Amino acid sequence: MGQIVFVGLGLHDDLGISLRGMEETRTAKHVFIELYTSLLPAFSKKRLEKAAGKELREVSRKELEEENGKVILDAAKDGKVVLLVPGDPLIATTHVALRIEAEKRSIRTQIVHGSSVLSAVIGLSGLHNYKFGKSVTIPFPDETPSQTPYEVLTQNKKLGLHTLCLLDIKAELKRYLSIREALACLLEIEKKRKKETVTPETLAVGISRAGSSNPMVKAGYVRDLISFDFGGPPHSIIFPGKLHFMEAEALIVLAGAPERIRRMAE
């Protein structure tokens, strides 16, 4: 029977693939790659093809989602197929659906995990990962207006939990939601909801290019972060809940937070 191996590419460039992932790629009969679920700012398809000695066949959102990954499932009928995926392979539900369909067809599946934005962003912030509540994606306001991010933030805040906000991307259109745009959107919702979930005085942490050699991590109040230059994408935001004293220290030392946030710590 055939096999599909989902291989994570990491977060920034073609050097993020693991040694195990590279070996699976080199020994595959067919190698596919998708680059629409996340942005790898310094990725080179040519360099990876040269290193792996394989041609990488890029698959589109339509092929994976609308056509249910048929091109990959068909290729896996008579040999090993590798699907290269930004970040960690099964963070995107698209890939979970493909894995389920493969197993239903008696096609074996295997996972080679890669660096995930979920752990990378949290690690860069210095906040304790076990204190995070539900994460949420903030969409482009002009395409899919939604108050879900505000509601998730409100729920987590009541529980004293941190909230990780991933910002929407349209990689195929080279469109990436920025921290400034996301904060402006939340402030607009705050004007209507008035729950004091996200105000100009709310503490937040902006992070850009997690996984690269030059990430930007800046903690401060929303009123300051909304005008801060975080550079190129991808961007993420963390809204801290109740702070442990070590978390407050981390935000001050690692992210330039104001000294007065020590008063928020327990």
User: What residues does each domain of the chain span?
Assistant: 3-112, 117-264
Task: Say if residue 143's pLDDT is above 80.
Answer: no
8 A C-beta contact, residue 169 and residue 177: yes
- In the predicted structure, residue 146 carries a pLDDT above the cut 90: no
Q: What pLDDT sits at residue 155?
A: 98
Tell me the two tokens of residue 198: 């996200």
Give the helix ranges, DSSP H, for the chain: 19-26, 45-52, 61, 70-75, 93-104, 117-125, 148-158, 179-193, 222-225, 245-255
Percent above pLDDT 70 for the chain:
99
Question: What's the whole-number average pLDDT of the chain?
Answer: 95
9-63 pLDDT per residue, tens:
999 999 999 999 999 999 999 999 999 989 999 999 999 999 999 999 999 999 9
**CATH match of 3-112 with 3.40.50.11710:** no
Digit-coded pLDDT (tens) for 151-184 = 999 999 999 999 999 999 988 888 999 999 999 9
CATH architecture designation of domain 117-264: 2-Layer Sandwich (3.30)
Name 243's Cβ contacts closer than 8 Å, sequence gap at least 6. Answer: 251, 261, 264, 265, 266
Pairing mode, strands 216-221 and 203-208: antiparallel
Point out which residues pair with 52 in neighbouring strands. none
Percent of all residues in the chain with a pLDDT value above 90, rounded to a whole number: 90
Helix (H, G, I), strand (E, B) or coil at 264: helix
CA gap 84, 93 in Å, rounded: 15
The band of 70, judged by pLDDT with boundaries at 50, 70 and 90, is very high
pLDDT for 257 beyond 70: yes
Note the pLDDT of residue 92: 81
Using DSSP's 3-state secondary structure scheme, residue 164 falls into strand
Report how far residue 133's alpha carbon sits from residue 152's, in angstroms, rounded to the nearest whole number.
9
